[in-house]
């Protein structure tokens, strides 16, 4: 299966990165951001998103070599935190200039990361962050130029959010395919639902593929979203809250060391805090 080959290719890359190159990349983005802060110049959101990528690669380099230490976990948490702030700033730019062709082009490529981040916020048990991300997902889904995109993953992230906060979700009809099947059979046992979650894991891996044959941009092109099955972790979290059994599945995405990480935290970072104070 091509999607699984893509996952394995990524795993091989993550395991063999050179740590010096990743640190150099991280320092490059840090310098650009610090120079902007010192000079009062325009802060480009892609520099902040750029920070998240080497942080994720540093994390995966250790984690996928079975070295899950505090530095690896901190890097993974920072990757998600920088991605969240960077994308929020990018969306803020879009709202200022919603007709700008480049803004539209970029939003088409990154809007699904808000859904992935919403799953992350649910795993964090951070209701304020989740509420903000849910609003961002809803805003993106209101954009007409996204209306013909495959959006079940995105609407499912909202379904999960509203289920988590125990409020009615009025857009369930927008969900189809495997996510709809899961919702319709939510109370079934794990043995019955395992094939459905394998299909959802396959869908995740298909969104790793980036080539000219795709009609729509892939959802998970950037780490840390590549290896983290956040949607599956949230499914099991919500089932646990409903006193339902956990769905375990034998799938390459779930057999990585990264997939074993189900708990995350927001950690202190002076640079990110400065960005938030000055630009959000």
pLDDT of residue 278: 86
pLDDT of residue 239: 98
User: What does the angle CA 29 – CA 97 – CA 276 come to, to the nearest 5 degrees?
Assistant: 40
* Predicted model pTM: 0.97
Q: In 10 A of CB 140, how many CB atoms?
A: 22
- Please name the residues in contact with 185: beta carbons below 8 A apart, sequence gap of 6 or more: 192, 193, 196
Predicted confidence (pLDDT) at residue 37 exceeds the cutoff of 90? no
pLDDT of residue 69: 96
First to last CA, the chain: 43
Read off the pLDDT band of 120 (50, 70, 90). Answer: very high
Listed by start position, the domains of the chain span 2-279
CA-closest candidate to residue 190, choices 247, 148, 107: 247
């Amino acid at each position: 299966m091509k999607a699984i080959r893509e996952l394995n290719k990524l795993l091989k890359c993550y395991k063999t990165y050179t740590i010096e190159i990743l640190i150099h990349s991280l320092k490059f983005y840090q310098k650009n951001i610090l120079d902007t802060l010192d000079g009062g110049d325009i802060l480009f959101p892609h520099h902040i998103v750029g920070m998240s990528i080497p942080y994720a690669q540093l994390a995966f380099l250790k984690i996928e070599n079975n070295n899950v230490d505090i530095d690896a976990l901190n890097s993974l948490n920072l990757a998600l935190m920088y991605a969240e702030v960077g994308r929020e700033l990018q969306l803020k730019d879009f709202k200022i200039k919603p007709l700008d062709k480049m803004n539209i082009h970029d939003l088409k490529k990154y809007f699904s990361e808000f859904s992935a981040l919403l799953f992350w916020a649910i795993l964090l048990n951070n209701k304020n962050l989740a509420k903000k991300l849910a609003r961002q997902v809803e805003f993106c889904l209101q954009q007409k130029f996204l209306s013909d995109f495959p959006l079940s993953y995105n609407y499912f992230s909202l379904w999960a959010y509203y289920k988590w906060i125990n409020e009615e979700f009025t857009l369930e009809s927008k969900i189809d395919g495997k996510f709809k099947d899961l919702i319709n059979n939510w109370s079934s046992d794990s043995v019955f639902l395992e094939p459905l979650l394998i299909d959802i894991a396959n869908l995740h891996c298909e969104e790793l593929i980036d080539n000219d044959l795709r009609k729509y941009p892939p959802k998970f092109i950037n780490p840390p979203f590549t290896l983290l099955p956040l949607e599956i972790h949230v499914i099991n979290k919500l089932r646990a809250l409903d006193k339902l059994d956990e769905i375990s599945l034998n799938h390459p995405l779930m057999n990585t060391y990264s997939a074993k990480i189900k708990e995350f935290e927001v950690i202190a970072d002076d640079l990110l805090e400065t960005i938030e104070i000055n630009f959000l």
